[in-house]
Amino acid sequence: MHDQNFEQLISRLEKTAQDNPQSYLFSVLGVALLGFMILGLVIGLSLLSVGLIIGLVALVVFSGGKALIFIAKLGKLIILLAIPAWTMAKASFTLLFSRFPRPTGRELRPDEAPELFTRLEDMRERMKGPRVHKVLLTDELNASIVQHPRFGLLGWEESYLILGFPLLQTLSEDETFAVVAHEYGHLSGHHSRMGGFIYRFRLAWGRLQEMSEQWNDWGSKLIARLFKWYAPYFNAYTFVLARQNEYMADQSSVELAGQQNAANALMRINIASRFEDEAFWPAINRRVTNEQEPCANRSALWAESLNTKLDAGMRSRFLEAASQRKTDHFDTHPALTDRLAAMGVDIGNAASDLGLPYTSAASVWLGANLQRVEQEFDQKWQEQVADNWRSRHNYQRERMQRLAVLQAQASLNQEEQWEQIAIIDELIPETDLLPLLNVLLQQIPEHASALFRRGSLLLERGDEAGVADIEKVMQADEGSILAGCEELWRFYKTRSPEKAEHYSKRWHERSEFLDEIKSELSGLPVDANLEAADLDDKAQESIRNIIRQHGKHIRTAYLMGRVLKKDGKVHDYVLAFETRRFTLGDKAPGIIKKMIQHEFPERTFIVHLGSEPYKRFRKSIKKLNLSPFQF
């Protein structure tokens, strides 16, 4: 289902849910029932298959072997039935008993955070929900609750509360508990048992889809295709209910932690997330140039930055940006302003006192263990990024040295000017690039990279003049359409919804077109548009060398170009060959297997003209009057 169709279906269902809630709920129940029927059908067919196999064995045993005569007469028919029966049984066994990966993180024991576990038990009693079996700390500015089935699809689930350590450093104890109560509200279905059921069912189908993508045998692939067909409809029909469930989870958060704590948690997370992306990580990355090893106190730097770098002006700007986001059909989470409004909180009044909490949840809940936990996360982070950090350090030092050389020159040619701009943009982002870009564009008005960068900078500053630059690049280079539409959509989404919608639609059309190109490139149909290859001598010689290594059984080869039907400007290549006469056995599969291990100069399909369906290519070769490829 395309994004546009998905969005239209959700819009229709939202209207149904508003105008006729009972009809909508019946539709959701129907779609959920269809999901159970699909699972039941798959399992039923497998049980029937196993039953047939067991029945045949029992018939042989209880007939004293006489049934073997009857089975022998059926011969191939029994084999043809037994193979798919076994395959379906195996696929269903995989479905039922495959182990899902457990959530990962640093497990927090009750003795390390007794106050947290006391509040969790109190929350469970008040909301009448399932037990939280384990609490995991992760290195993310996020929180969630996950149910992990111990025995595949059959269940007996464990509940994991996953808390990001940076989140604990960012919020107060009561604000963090508001986040926990929200996540637990999903699981418990405190305000809607139906909502809780659909929430868990959506997670289960998500796991099934993820698991089915790993299946390889044909029986499992049939089940995976059935899942792939059903999942978009299930997601669309339950989308509205899932969004309503977000509001209900917020109600749980308000009831257990208080309105102000719940609202502050939402706003502070949005602010901290933008601060992390726009200020904290760029500051860490700037240290790479001068520091050969990753910093050892990153967790402490995060806590310190929240206190010293995230000032009132920055908080106000980030909150304003977050408040501009509108609720859309690609995320079940409503926009911040909608969630706050549902709580009865005015974002304008609530934002006045959002300084760093006096005491963070990390300090309260971890207490004396805080420093040890910080060290554990810092050490793990250092180990993960050390190799990449050192590599980037060496690269950036070389780039800075190159910049020094360029800046020392009396004059720069046009290529050197762009190189200087690119280095400054990469390594000294606080520099104002507009003067340098304007100088270059005066000399080369069609310089695509400079035009796009100038357009982006102007848009970042709220100057609509940047639109013309981006549009000019997109007209000249189709490869820039996705990036350009994304820039323009981001600029217009709060200024002109109509224009933002135009660029969103253009982005999706281009994305779908590229997906179709990718799909066509993934295979070689028998009716492909073939032409004489236009590879240069160097590329042809490279292919000759590959054939010489593995082509002792090749009699004749032909090199052709394949022009895509979707876009005549896109093409790849086909190497078609025939094996020598009077060779023992079919040598073609071995030849292809060996040749595809080599890197061809261009994307190339290798096919055997003696095998189906590529025998038909002989007519194309004759029609094109191609000469054999000399090797």
DSSP labels for 566-612?
S-TT-EEEEEEEEEPTT-SS--HHHHHHHHTTSPPSS-EEEEETTST
Predicted confidence at residue 239, as pLDDT, reads 77
Tell me the mean pLDDT in the region 439-455: 95
The pLDDT-based confidence of 246 (bands split at 50, 70, 90) is: confident
Looking at the predicted structure, is the pLDDT value of residue 96 above 60?
no
Predicted confidence at residue 351, as pLDDT, reads 57
Looking at residue 171, its amino acid is: L
327-368 pLDDT, tens digit each? 765 667 788 888 999 998 887 765 556 776 779 999 999 999
Classify each residue of 314-344 as buried b or exposed e, where b means 16 or more C-beta atoms within 10 Å of its C-beta.
ebeebbeebbebeeebeebebbbbebbeebe
Most confident range (mean pLDDT) of 91-95, 220-224, 581-585, 614-618 is: 614-618
Give which of 168, 164, 173, 169 is closest to 142, Cα–Cα.
164
Fold of 529-624: Alpha-Beta Plaits (3.30.70)
Sign of the torsion angle spanned by Cα atoms 71, 73, 76, 77: negative
Question: Is residue 136 helix, strand or coil?
Answer: strand
Those residues whose C-beta lies under 8 Å from the C-beta of residue 382, and which sit 6 or more positions away, are: 293, 294, 296, 298
267-317 pLDDT, tens digit each? 999 999 999 999 999 999 889 988 999 999 999 999 999 988 988 888 888
**Lowest mean per-residue pLDDT among 211-215, 274-278, 559-563:** 211-215
Tell me the mean pLDDT in the region 195-216: 61
- H or E segment and range at residue 147: strand 143-149
CATH number of 428-521: 1.25.40
Give which of 220, 274, 291, 161 is closest to 42, Cα–Cα.
220
Q: Which residue has better confidence, 414 or 45? A: 414
| Alpha-carbon separation of residue 105 from 204, 309, 347, 469, 611 (angstroms) | 21, 29, 34, 46, 52
Predicted confidence at residue 333, as pLDDT, reads 78
Tell me the mean pLDDT in the region 526-539: 91
**Lowest mean per-residue pLDDT among 12-16, 91-95, 286-290, 626-630:** 91-95
**Quick one: tokens of 117?**
């576990």
Predicted confidence at residue 331, as pLDDT, reads 66
The pLDDT-based confidence of 238 (bands split at 50, 70, 90) is: confident
The owner of tokens 């045949």 is: 56
| Alpha-carbon separation of residue 59 from 55, 67, 70, 179, 628 (angstroms) | 6, 6, 10, 61, 61
**Lowest mean per-residue pLDDT among 163-177, 241-255, 301-315, 522-536:** 241-255
The owner of tokens 């309503």 is: 244
103-126 pLDDT, tens digit each? 899 999 999 999 999 999 999 999
| Mean pLDDT of all residues belonging to the chain | 83
Give which of 346, 316, 342 is closest to 182, Cα–Cα.
342
Q: Would you say the pTM of this structure is higher than 0.75?
A: no
Give which of 511, 444, 462 is closest to 484, Cα–Cα.
511
Q: Could you give the CA distance from residue 65 to residue 72 in angstroms, rounded to a whole number? A: 11
CB count within 10 Å of CB 256 equals 23
Looking at residue 320, its amino acid is: E
**Lowest mean per-residue pLDDT among 145-159, 317-331, 360-374:** 145-159
Do 601 and 535 touch, CB atoms closer than 8 A?
A: yes
Looking at the predicted structure, is the pLDDT value of residue 558 above 70?
yes
Domain span(s) for CATH 1.25.40 in the chain: 428-521
The pLDDT-based confidence of 489 (bands split at 50, 70, 90) is: very high
Those residues whose C-beta lies under 8 Å from the C-beta of residue 345, and which sit 6 or more positions away, are: 259, 260, 263
The DSSP bridge pattern shows strands 554-563 and 571-579 to be antiparallel
For the chain, give the percent of residues with pLDDT over 70. Answer: 78
Question: Is residue 148 helix, strand or coil?
Answer: strand
Predicted confidence at residue 324, as pLDDT, reads 78
The pLDDT-based confidence of 5 (bands split at 50, 70, 90) is: low
**Lowest mean per-residue pLDDT among 65-74, 512-521, 605-614:** 65-74
419-428 pLDDT, tens digit each? 999 999 998 8
Looking at the predicted structure, is the pLDDT value of residue 191 above 50?
no
24-59 pLDDT, tens digit each? 777 777 777 777 787 777 666 666 666 666 666 666
Predicted confidence at residue 294, as pLDDT, reads 95
Predicted confidence at residue 68, as pLDDT, reads 55
CB count within 10 Å of CB 100 equals 17
Domain span(s) for CATH 3.30.70 in the chain: 529-624
Q: Which residue has better confidence, 5 or 565? A: 565
Q: Which residue has better confidence, 210 or 230? A: 230
